[in-house]
Structure 1
Amino acid sequence: MKSYSALFPLAAVMALTQVSCVVGTREVSIDVPQGSRPGGRGAATITKVSDSRQFQNKPSDPSTPSVDGDVSSMSAAERSRYVGRQRNTYGKGMGDVALGGSAT
């Protein structure tokens, strides 16, 4: 019985260190490496980039982008930084993920 009472505090500390909190906004930075240009293969042009994501308040499908708070109160510039939400094991939104700095 004495050995179990000695292991309980150790088990409690180990359990608490395995829990991470995903509340708030986590900013991620994306570093785009400079690629080498292949010679003589033609040209590619990107003419238009459009963001067709539709953010929703508390969506039923976890793959639908959402943010913590009211989406309609955010400007288009604010929404352009957001990637989506972090979700827990049960699919509940816990924290936001946004691009760092002024990246959009």
Structure 2
Amino acid sequence: MLRVTVKKDRDVVFFYPRLEGADSSVVVYAEDGPGLRRLFALQGKKGLWTEMGRQYVLDLRSAPYGWVRKDVDVKLTIVLTGKWSQVWHLGSAVLF
């Protein structure tokens, strides 16, 4: 599990999850008060890796207040499930 805070200064960010296996997944949640709101989910397939270097869009407008405000911090939780689930990073950055 990764916890990331991103400044909502744009509507979308990009990230690079990669996985293989039917038991693998990458799910991104935004904090929504006391709960979580799912923003993204990717499920693996048995025997197939997702495309290397594929860029996925994370729409921050779906985060709480994301469609209205540009000055809020969005707190994200990225949940990796399965042996072959990964999110590529550059240094400490996972969102671009």
Query: What TM-score do the two structures reach when normalised by structure 1?
Result: 0.20
* Larger strand share, 1 or 2: 2
Largest Rg, 1 or 2: 1
